[in-house]
Structure 1
Amino acid sequence: MASPTLFYHLLHPQTATLLLKAPSCGRFNKIASITELPWLTQLEASNADVAIIEVSQLGQADYDCLTDNALMSDIEFIFLSEGKPNPHLDKLMSKGAGYHFRQPYNMELIDDTLNDFAQDLLLESTKRQQVLSSELDQYGLLVGSSRAMHKLYRTVRKVAVTESNVLIVGESGAGKELVANTIHLASNRANEPFIAINCGALSPELVDSELFGHVKGAFTGAHRDHRGVFDQAEGGTLFLDEITEMPIDHQVKLLRVLENSEYRPIGSTSLKKANVRIVAATNRDPASAIEQGLFREDLYFRLAHFPIRVPPLRDRGDDISGLAKHFLAYRNVAEKLTKTFTPEAISFIQQQRWTGNVRELKHAIERAYILADDTIDQSHFNTFETESKPENTTDKIQVPSGMRLDEIEKVAIFQALDKAGGNKNETAEQLGISVKTLYNKLSKYEDNSSTD
């Protein structure tokens, strides 16, 4: 319907009804011409977006069938007539049937009407895609459609079926634990436990106990036996996150287990055999960590049978806006709502560097979701930014009235984490809490999110 001339030819008097479909919710294509009865049955089966009907060939029965038909709410109607009084059409129009144009037809007005229909259909289609569905590809627990992510999928699939230890390297928030969990799920150990422990959150006094366990009475406060993570992960996968944050003198103890697959719980007189696959992760460059004396080189070679690098979000192209829509869609389903992004919000999201990667993006979407009513715009991503003030004044954060205390705490933690670029030690220091407390709270938020 791009030109009035073409439109006029389509309205040849010999054609009673024209059905149109909006390809990709853009302009319309003619998909059928109905000249034979029962035309209403054909219209119901057409899946058309717009019906242009020349009324000269319609009888009273046709009007009666249309009057209370569900098609009136499913299809946009344009009726064309010679202008003669028609009480049946008047009755139909009184029920909000659509547009009625009389001869001589103003083709520009008709074309404008079709443009309005196309814009409305485009908006509805975009809304459905953004709030109720995700367009991203997925492998295991990993989500993304970029070439970088598909390369990662292929790598994970190949190494998962082996027994090799894996060292995952990537920035904070890039999804290293999801990679580890996906390796486990795609492995022959999938039916056995997947146990994750953050080496940076371990108390130096309790590292041995957390790793290898202890027996009752082994030390003050050991009131009962405790199974270490090697025992808990027996037969399955043990994920050692932030391995370079483990105290260097404890790394040698881990190395011994990897070398001979044996360990001894604290206070026990017997050795245990470890049947676990080790997947470790770090947000540091391993070579730099070794040079700085933070990571034993011999432990690195034991862990890095197969190194994997996780791409940062900024290198994943349209996955950025795709993940934003993905998180919004799942939140909408959980909350039974239909919140949407404005085009400006999507553009803003796509242009950010997201130094905290997927975690930062997800937290930003959750904050914006809490703040927005029906539509999330760019301002919802700036609400919690503190403004520059003189040194003798205190920075204030504007908190929406009615927000629950636990939600305020959650937003404050995510904000501090984002500003620290995902560095949990710095975040904990800013918030005045221990790193272990921070991990516990983040773990609780992740658990709540996964069950929504």
Structure 2
Amino acid sequence: MTQPRLFLHVQDNELATQLLQSAAVRRFVVVRSSDTAPWSEQLLQQPCDLAFIQADQHSETDYQRLTASKLLAEIDFILISDGRPDPVLDKLMRGGAGYHFRRPLDLGCILDTLEDFYQQLSDSRQPVKANTSALDQFGLLVGSSRAMLKLYRTLRKVAVTEANVLIVGESGAGKELVANTLHLASYRAEQPFVAINCGALSPELVDSELFGHTKGAFTGAQREHQGVFAQAEGGTLFLDEVTEMPLEQQVKLLRVLESGEYRPVGSDKVLHANVRIVAATNRDPQQAIAEGVLREDLYFRLAQFPVQVPPLRDRGDDICGLAQHFLAYRNAQEQQQKQLAADTVALIANHSWPGNVRELKHAIERAYILADNHIQPEHLLLEQSADSDEDECLAEVPCGLPLEELEKAAILNTLEQNAGNKTDTARQLGISVKTLYNKLEKYQQAES
């Protein structure tokens, strides 16, 4: 079997020596770059299976050469940078380059990645595609913690299969980013990625949203509608919060997964689904089965390969790293040089972040607006714990108010606090998303 070829463009002589002396690199036929021409031009003249690129800055010409030749989509890249936001580097990642490691480097992790690529190339697999972000990254995911690096390697392996994947993780942990990364790293990457929140569907329209409907199929169906199975044809269908789907529709979804066939509402024509299913939930699946909100047979169909997304509190230094990442990119957008004060970094490191990465990102964005040059702890506007607010909340409850009005106030206030996110609101209130929709519809009818 022919050895895989590795194109090596490294400006740091010490790093180049460490790589060339490693067992991982010696597995490849190494093609070194020279100073005679830009690295992208040299790579086009002697194509390889994998490119390892370390450059202080990338030019737009590099990107244009690679995309015009389709080389960016055909081989894998490992890119090394000093951590400064670089628009061309982001374009390379969005174009499917692969991995991007930032200094200070974890050489052991880089060598493990090279070993993975060697094994994949030796198995004659197609290259893995990815997308964008900062820190060490894979696809749309960001982070350098052991938990995230383990997740990256798991996703690379399952992405190139056709297995259905069930992503389990807390709200705000990045489940949709995981699903999108799976799609980008799969053989279906050039086809559509369609996401649908099962908890946000009206019970009366679930069938139509999933399978589509014909014109005149029901009152109000004034034209033909394609369901998400048709919209995602050839690509990936992401079913977010799948445990919130009504049981009746879970049966129909199971039927499609078993037979590959479905029928649009009002049609007698049977269609064949060609999609990969990736589902997600913020519930414990076994608990959801025990509570009767998730069919066990559907769970086993969806969870051919389960993936657990780590909560932010379990990601160690990623917490402060992500805060710096969000700030760096906001600085680049606004042409500013705002910084996190030392006390702010300590507060970020010690906060529990129940809303995970989403909460952290929103906190940094709010603080960025409020702060001048230095972001102080008071700029973060972190929510107080439920325990510290308990007495204050009890004092604000008016006496003699009907329970129905109290319930309405609790629902509307929680919905406003969550910026309209119905899934998070239902979880905090301890009710199902379907119940929440029914309550909101009732309030709306009472006002009309």
Matches of 1:392 and 1:158, distance apart in 2: 53
Q: Is 1:184–2:183 an aligned residue pair?
A: yes
Match of 1:425 in 2: 426
Alignment of 1:374-389 (within 5 A): 374-382=373-381, 388=392
Change (3 A) 1:265 1:428: farther
Matches of 1:415 and 1:341, distance apart in 2: 29
Q: CA deviation at 1:424?
A: 3.6
Matches of 2:393 and 2:267, distance apart in 1: 59
Change (3 A) 1:207 1:414: closer
Q: CA deviation at 1:345?
A: 0.3
Match of 1:213 in 2: 212
Give identity over the alignment, percent. Answer: 64
Alignment of 1:100-179 (within 5 A): 136-179=135-178
Q: CA deviation at 1:212?
A: 0.3
SS of the residue aligned with 2:418? Answer: helix
Query: After the TM superposition, which segments of 4 or more aligned residues of structure 1 sit over 6 Å from their partners?
Result: 128-135, 383-387, 412-415, 427-430
Aligned length: 290
Matches of 1:275 and 1:267, distance apart in 2: 21
Deviation digits for residues 323-351 of structure 1 (CA, Å, limit 9, x no counterpart) = 01111111111222221110100110010
Q: CA deviation at 1:416?
A: 2.2
Matches of 2:229 and 2:160, distance apart in 1: 21
Structure of greater Rg: 1
Structure with larger RCO (C-alpha < 8 A, sep 6+): 1
Match of 2:311 in 1: 312
Deviation digits for residues 87-123 of structure 1 (CA, Å, limit 9, x no counterpart) = xxxxxxxxxxxxxxxxxxxxxxxxxxxxxxxxxxxxx
- RMSD, aligned α-carbons: 3.3
Matches of 2:270 and 2:355, distance apart in 1: 42
SS of the residue aligned with 1:215? Answer: coil
Change (3 A) 1:287 1:413: closer
Deviation digits for residues 180-218 of structure 1 (CA, Å, limit 9, x no counterpart) = 100000000000000000111111011001000001111
Amino acid at match of 1:425: A
Q: CA deviation at 1:130?
A: 9.3
Matches of 2:415 and 2:328, distance apart in 1: 20
SS of the residue aligned with 1:278? Answer: strand
**Contact 1:234/1:275, CA 8 A, preserved across alignment:** yes
Which runs of 5 or more structure 2 residues have no equivalent in the other structure?
A: 1-81, 88-101, 104-134, 399-412, 441-448
TM-score by length of 1: 0.59
Amino acid at match of 2:418: L
Change (3 A) 1:248 1:368: same
Change (3 A) 1:413 1:325: farther
Q: Is 1:204–2:203 an aligned residue pair?
A: yes
Alignment of 1:397-412 (within 5 A): none
Amino acid at match of 2:292: G
Matches of 1:167 and 1:210, distance apart in 2: 21
Change (3 A) 1:383 1:281: closer
SS of the residue aligned with 1:391? Answer: helix
Change (3 A) 1:177 1:393: closer
Q: CA deviation at 1:244?
A: 0.5
SS of the residue aligned with 1:279? Answer: strand
Matches of 2:393 and 2:291, distance apart in 1: 38
Which runs of 5 or more structure 1 residues have no equivalent in the other structure?
A: 1-127, 395-411, 439-452
TM-score by length of 2: 0.59
Q: Is 1:238–2:237 an aligned residue pair?
A: yes
Amino acid at match of 2:158: V
Amino acid at match of 2:233: E
**Contact 1:131/1:339, CA 8 A, preserved across alignment:** no
**Contact 1:209/1:228, CA 8 A, preserved across alignment:** yes
**Contact 1:237/1:277, CA 8 A, preserved across alignment:** yes
SS of the residue aligned with 1:217? Answer: coil
